[in-house]
Amino acid sequence: MTHEPVELVIFDCDGVLVDSERIYCRVDREVFATLGAEFTEEEVVEHFVGSSHELLTSILEERIGRPLEPGWNAPYRQRYEDALDAELTAVEGVTEVLDALSVPYCLASNGSHPTIRRNLTRAGLLDRFEGRMFSARDVSRGKPAPDLFLHAAATMGVPPRRCAVVEDSPYGVQAARAAGMRAFGYSGGLTRAERLAGPGTVVFEDMRTLPGLLGATLS
């Protein structure tokens, strides 16, 4: 199959640029337990990695058997912030990837703009994405809907068919496929490779191999 050239690379943030998912997963389990819901690490990865806050809340409510008040997570935010301050780093190899790319790139995350900025700052990556950060808060529906990726592509002036998306969650690769973009599923974190595999998706484990994989889509 012949692909059109990649003219824009759209990165997810958590688990792709910053190695935050392990931290979130651990703290999630602690917080959910205080609310009366026990989750294994595998369940947290399956249900919550890459999900929207709304989806997370609905799954949590189903598990605990009662509705949660709006803003239920506010008392726990500092617990996440403290862990991220102490532990967060860039994903191994990602700075080399950004240096190697010959086409424009941007970021599209289900996280809020303040969260994106804080995590990029902690990982030393903020200056690389200034002015090219897109949040699910910018659109009506976050991932797995295609809205966020389509918004990012339109703002950057690139047709969806010429965009490549780098994701580490099933929700993210599903959104990329729905947007008509090529998906690259990074399995070097918590998500197993088989959960990322599917049509129009290249699964890879070592972030440093991404530029070569992107190049292979040009022919």
Q: pLDDT tens, 169-192?
A: 999 999 999 999 999 999 999 889
Residues 62 and 97 in one domain: no
CATH of the domain at 159: 3.40.50.1000
If pLDDT is split at 50, 70 and 90, which confidence band does 1 have? very low
The percent of residues above 70 in pLDDT, for the chain, comes to 97
Q: What pLDDT sits at residue 123?
A: 97
Domain final residue pick, 66, 86, 106: 86
Q: CB neighbours (10 Å) of residue 36?
A: 11
Residue 81 within a domain:
yes
The average confidence (pLDDT) of the chain is 93
State which residues form the domain around 131: 8-19+89-216
**Same domain, yes or no, for 120 and 178?**
yes
138-160 pLDDT per residue, tens: 999 999 999 999 999 999 999 99
Residue 3 lies in a domain: no
The pTM for the full model equals: 0.88
Q: Is residue 155 part of a domain?
A: yes
Q: What digits encode the pLDDT tens for the residues 88-136?
A: 999 999 999 999 999 999 999 999 999 999 999 999 999 999 999 999 9
Tell me: do 26 and 95 sit in the same domain.
no
pLDDT at 201 over 90: yes
Of 54 and 100, which is predicted with more confidence?
100
Task: Note the pLDDT of residue 218.
Answer: 44
